[in-house]
């Protein structure tokens, strides 16, 4: 079976892309074990994809209008779209169309909801968490059972992390955006119990190529807090695994619903204490004894972060949960079964 996997227009579908793109590449590797897989990648801001030799063949498109001709030439049995159900109209009539949602509907960039809802029942639909699947089903006007859950996988580097070497550090490795809870964490950093704790934020802009006004404002806000620092995004997963292993607690203090939360999974795979907010799929990605606090409750966030910093609880349980559900083998097998259902 030939499967064309289509990335979004926001980031090239390669290993230099964001979390969505790297998760899709891991899925592509799993599908490629049994099927012929071709990647169709946009070249945002004129940057062509830079395929890795181990990844499937890649076809680059400069704009969405090129998709119909490219997909017609490929003649795939299945087209797998990410976050863009409206692009089903560009797919060959002979192909089954599968759509996976990684983010909530506000990120899909849909303009004509009536047309999409009319067609939604004929598409194979999945999402990376049950919470996101239910939200997508409600938005599209289909039964929740019509949306499968296809868990993403973590990078293999997190399956064999370094030994924990915890320090007095609250680590926030998400993108530097207000919606990721940067200002809330800075509020906590200013409180007396955290005076000797470093709050470390990744200076991560992806999928943007240069800082926006929001990024610049957040960099300035971090600079005003004595115990807060920015660090350059780690060049590889192994380097981030070392950051996780050295964190006193990892914070995913998001203010808007996450599709699932790869950072939460990665941190727990590295046995790091974790605190998340209860928005979107994050509760599904947070395993005891790690804490999930109400979104927007900064006092609860502060209490949970202090508890995490002081905790000596065993973290092998969360690691086992993550490896068992979100390793490349486990997540890849799940996606293979879903794709097989999509063409029945």
* pLDDT greater than 90 at residue 229: yes
| CATH class for the region spanning 156-324 | alpha beta
Q: Does residue 46 surpass a pLDDT of 80?
A: no
For the segment 245-267, the average pLDDT, to the nearest whole number, is 97
Please provide residue 233's backbone torsions phi and psi, each rounded to the nearest 5 degrees: -55, 130
Residues forming a β-bridge with 101 = 127
Residue corresponding to tokens 């998709």: 67
Q: Percentage of the chain with pLDDT > 90?
A: 92
Confidence of residue 45 (pLDDT cuts 50, 70, 90): confident
Looking at the predicted structure, is the pLDDT value of residue 343 above 90? no
pLDDT of 323 > 90? The answer is yes
- Matching residue, tokens 């203090």: 253
Q: Where in the chain is the domain with CATH 3.40.50.2000?
A: 2-153+327-342, 156-324
pLDDT at 16: 87
Collapsing DSSP to helix, strand or coil, 65 comes out as helix
Q: What is the pLDDT of residue 18?
A: 87
2-153+327-342 is classed CATH 3.40.50.2000: yes
In this predicted structure, what is the pLDDT of residue 300?
A: 98
pLDDT above 70 covers a percentage of the chain that reads 100
pTM of the complete model: 0.95
Rounded Cα–Cα distance for residues 40 and 50 (Å) = 12
Structure-block tokens of residue 204: 């991560």
* Residue 117 φ/ψ region, left for φ over 0, alpha for ψ in the -120 to 50 degree band, beta for the rest: alpha
């Amino acid at each position: 079976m030939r499967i064309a996997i289509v990335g979004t227009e926001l980031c090239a579908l390669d290993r230099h892309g964001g979390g969505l793109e790297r998760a899709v590449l891991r899925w592509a590797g799993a599908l490629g074990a049994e099927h012929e897989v071709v990647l169709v990648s946009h070249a945002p801001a004129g940057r062509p994809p830079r395929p890795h030799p181990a990844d499937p063949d890649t076809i680059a498109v400069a704009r969405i209008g090129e998709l119909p001709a490219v997909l017609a030439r490929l003649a795939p049995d299945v087209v797998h779209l990410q976050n863009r159900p409206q692009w089903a109209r560009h797919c060959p009539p002979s192909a089954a169309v599968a759509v996976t949602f990684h983010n909530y509907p506000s990120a899909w960039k849909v303009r004509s909801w009536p047309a999409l809802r009319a067609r939604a029942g004929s598409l194979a639909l999945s999402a990376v968490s049950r919470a996101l699947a239910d939200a997508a089903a409600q938005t599209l006007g289909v039964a929740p059972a019509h949306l499968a859950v296809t868990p993403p996988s973590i990078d293999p580097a997190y399956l064999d992390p370094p030994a924990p070497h915890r320090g007095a550090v609250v680590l926030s490795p998400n993108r530097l955006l207000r919606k990721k809870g940067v200002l809330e964490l800075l509020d906590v950093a200013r409180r007396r119990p955290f005076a000797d704790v470093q709050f470390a934020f990744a200076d991560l802009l992806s999928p943007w190529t240069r800082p926006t006004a929001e990024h610049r404002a957040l960099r300035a806000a971090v600079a005003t807090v004595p115990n807060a620092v920015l660090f350059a995004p780690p060049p590889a997963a192994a380097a981030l695994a070392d950051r996780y292993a050295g964190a006193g607690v990892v914070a995913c203090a998001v203010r808007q619903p996450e599709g699932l939360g790869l950072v939460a999974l990665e941190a727990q795979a590295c046995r790091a204490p974790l605190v998340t907010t209860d928005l979107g799929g994050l509760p599904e990605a947070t395993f005891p004894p790690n804490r999930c606090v109400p979104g927007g409750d900064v006092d609860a966030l502060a209490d949970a972060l202090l508890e995490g910093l002081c905790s000596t609880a065993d973290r092998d349980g969360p690691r086992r949960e993550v490896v068992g559900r979100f390793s490349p083998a486990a997540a890849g097998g799940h996606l293979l079964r879903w794709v097989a259902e999509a063409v029945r």
